Structure formats: C-alpha cells, structure tokens
Structure 1
Amino acid sequence: MNRRRTVLLAGLLVLAALCGAADANTSNVLPWDGTMKIIADSLTGPVVYALGLLFIVAGFVGVAFAGAEMSGWIRWVSIAAILLGMVGAAPNVLNTFGVKTFLVP
C-alpha cells in the first residue's frame, strides 16, 4: 500500500510538471482570436438588440393570448423565447443606463 502511494504521488508530480511546462509555452495570440472578436462584437450590435426585443414581444404575446391553455412544451418555448430575448438585449439595455457590460472571450 505504501509503494502504491509513492508511485501515485510521483505520477502526480510528473503530471503537474508537464502541465506547468505546457502552460509556460503558450502565447497570448491564438489563431481563432480574430474570429472570436468578430463574433463577440456581433453579439452586442443593434441586430441582436432588435432580435432580443422581437423575442421578448413574441414570447409575451404568445403567453398573453394563449394563457392557461398552452401545453407544457409550448409554454416552455414561449418562456425560452422571452429569456433569449432578455439575454440578447441585456448588454444594450444596461449600456443605456450607464452600466458597463462585457463579454468573456
């Protein structure tokens, strides 16, 4: 049992050393950074804001007109549309009120 612990500890130390060496050799610029920047910029633009408002309005209209007669998955779709609209429109709405928002790259 003692030998087993020693081998396990040695293996963990080697793994930790390899992970540290792999992390030290990475650069700050990755090949997909440009593409991710374009996607992040498009997620905070006016098109996403308009789509977010459209989803919110469509979800609330669906809930308002159908009400209690909605089946389970249609109600779920309506609520999901409202939530997606809120997530899409949130950065622009918060920037309107002076709250700085950011996207995690």
Structure 2
Amino acid sequence: MPYARLAHGRLVVNPGSVGMPYGRPGAHWCLLGPGTDLRVTPYDVPAATARLVAECAYPHIAAWADQYLNARASDVDALEAFGPRDGGPECLSAGRG
C-alpha cells in the first residue's frame, strides 16, 4: 500500500510493491527528491503470469500470479491481514483519513 506521510517530523515513504500490489495492478514505486512522487508503471500482466507459470516450479504459481499480479486484494484486505491485532481503535482507522 503506497504512502508518503510525516511521522514525528520525518517523512516515511512506502512506495508499495512491484510484484504484490494492493488495489490496482502495476509496478508501484516512488521517485525521490526533491519531494516524493508515488508512481505506478503498468506492465503486461498476462505475459508475466505466463512466464511465471512456464518457468516456476511452485505448484500453485498460476493461482498466486492471478491473485497478486492482478491486484485482487484491496487495501482493506491488506489492513485486515497486516494491521494491529489488539482490537484497538487504530485497527479501524489505519490507512483511512
């Protein structure tokens, strides 16, 4: 999940992921300095999937590629999977606002 935020006077940047993006397909990255510019570069997902299936020994690679290269998981899914687990209010507000 890409973001650029100030935290305690410091800029914290997570450009996202090239291979496992959330929300929309593409290679998520950030151009730095001066400032930050969060970017997404589209690529040929069907071709990438076909290459993985042809060259990877992982038995479930086709399902993995479909799920992750097509960005079928949303930012809400990511927050549910990786957010705080203590049930506190930050669980409900993380990533929103």
Same fold, TM-score > 0.5, yes or no: no
Pick the structure with more strand per residue.
Answer: 2
Q: RCO (CA 8 Å, sep 6+): is it higher in 1 or 2?
A: 1
Larger radius of gyration: 1
* TM-score w.r.t. length of structure 2: 0.30
Pick the structure with more helix per residue.
Answer: 1
